Amino acid sequence: MPQLPDGDPAPHDGRLPAASLSAMRGGTFSLYLHVPYCSVRCGYCDFNTYTLTELGDATGASLATWVDGVAAELDLAVDVLTADGGAPPVVDTVFVGGGTPSLLGADDLGRALGVVRQRFEAAPDWEVTTEANPDQVDEAFTTALARAGYTRLSVGMQSAVPHVLATLDRTHDPRNVERAVAAAQSADLAVSVDLIHGTPGESLADWRTSVEAALALRPDHVSAYALTIEEGTALHRRVARGELPRPSEDDQADKYELADDLLTGAGYAWYELSNWARTERGRCRHNEHYWDGGHWWGVGPGAHSHVGGTRFWNVKHPRAWAQRLASGSPAEAREVLTPEQVTEERVMLGIRRREGLPVEDVPDAGRQAVAGLVAAGLLEGVPAVRDRRLVLTRRGRLLADRVTWGLLGL
């Protein structure tokens, strides 16, 4: 698992700088609820997750007590966010991620959303998403989610090819993806399907099979991420031992282009490097809040938050999270972003999006690189430049990091 970043000690009561609370006022606000539980740990995953057998049933570490912990942290959030006398912010999006949120079952997922409603006002058209393992989704599950107020289901498909799923240590039955998506659609939930390309041993034909299988389901949204081999994972150890080949950049590029061709041909439009939506309403507003530098509170073990230029993150282990909540804030550390950090993040996140990056957001050190990036075919020319927005070409999407460093003058 990745280590938490360094930072300054977080106050025991979780209080935030007055300037951060002031900056939050009037902006959109989101909540992320982290479910750290999984039945098994996938070999490629380095998220902050734990199997149920690892955690046992100790206080604060079990599925049964997760919603109580969420309620306690949301009470803290309300106290912190209203310390300047203002009202709690209106919540525009909620995202329940993990881990495997569907392990909780629809009743506890509904109870968690009820806890949110008791403490915050919901925007009239709020977006509420939960991730789910397709093996745990049926019509009873999705009907209960919709009744509780969820609007969107994100299904972890990853691949439609059994040997690829096996390499990833994914245990779900690929046939259950179709059942899960159909159940969500029957409950009028928007559906997102997640795919991963570049698994060792995955051919281009395998990847085509997976993308076409996802398109056949007609989801509202598709995410297609390139696999990264993270240190400390089982997959990294297998690659290091020479049991599996490391994904090549050329292979990843070929698969990205194939996905873009197939998705575009089926009527989906990219709106962020790894995300395509069938309509404008199909875009994930929650993620867009992150990319816009919005304000959000991350609830749960290891969850990260950002409020008005202050970023803070919770202790990672579920038991430590619960213990800290019993007496104060579960935050491990925090940092107040400098103007330079804000600029860097605005460039890194903004250039990844279809709308592009306003030229005004590029620091002086990087503006001289724009003409060269256009000439290299990495940024669109006229009319994008005329509109004072920098938009990646498809080749630029494949080399987005190179473009980012150029725009930052690095």
Q: Where are the domains of the chain?
A: 8-292, 338-409
Can you tell me the distance from the alpha carbon of 77 to that of 386, in angstroms, rounded to the nearest whole number? 44
CA distance 198 to 324: 40
Under CATH, to which class is 338-409 assigned?
mainly alpha
Q: What does the pLDDT read at residue 39? A: 87
C-beta separation of 33 from 94 below 8 A = yes
CATH architecture of 8-292: Alpha-Beta Horseshoe (3.80)
Contacts of residue 172, Cβ cutoff 8 Å, sequence gap at least 6: 133, 134, 135, 156, 165
The closest alpha carbon to 394, from 222, 286, 303, 259, belongs to 259
CA end-to-end span of the chain: 29
Contact 335, 311 (CB under 8 A): yes
> pLDDT value at position 198?
96
Neighbours of 308 (CB within 10 A): 19
Are 49 and 37 contacting, i.e. CB atoms less than 8 angstroms apart? Answer: yes
Report d(CA 315, CA 299) in Å as an integer: 11
Q: Convert 368-410 into a string of H (helix), E (strand) and C (coil).
A: CCHHHHHHCCCECCCCCCCCCEECECHHHHHCHHHHHHHHCCC
State which residues of the chain have pLDDT below 70.
1-6, 56-61, 383-385
Beta strands 357-358; 29-35: pairing state: unpaired
- The whole-number pLDDT of residue 54 equals 78
CA 195, CA 213: separation in Å to the nearest integer?
11
H/E stretch holding 365 reads helix 364-367
Predicted local distance difference test score (pLDDT) of residue 184: 98
- Would you state the pLDDT for residue 4? 57
Cis bond upstream, residue 99 (ω within 30): yes
In this structure, the strands spanning 37-38 and 50-51 are: parallel
Partnered with residue 30 across adjacent β-strands are 93, 296
The alpha carbon of 256 is separated from its chain's Cα centroid by a whole number of angstroms, namely 19
Task: Give how far Cα 316 sits from Cα of 23, 61, 188, 298, Å.
Answer: 28, 11, 35, 12
| Dihedral angle over CA of 294, 299, 302, 306, nearest 10 | 20
**pLDDT at residue number 382:** 72
The pLDDT of residue 5: 66
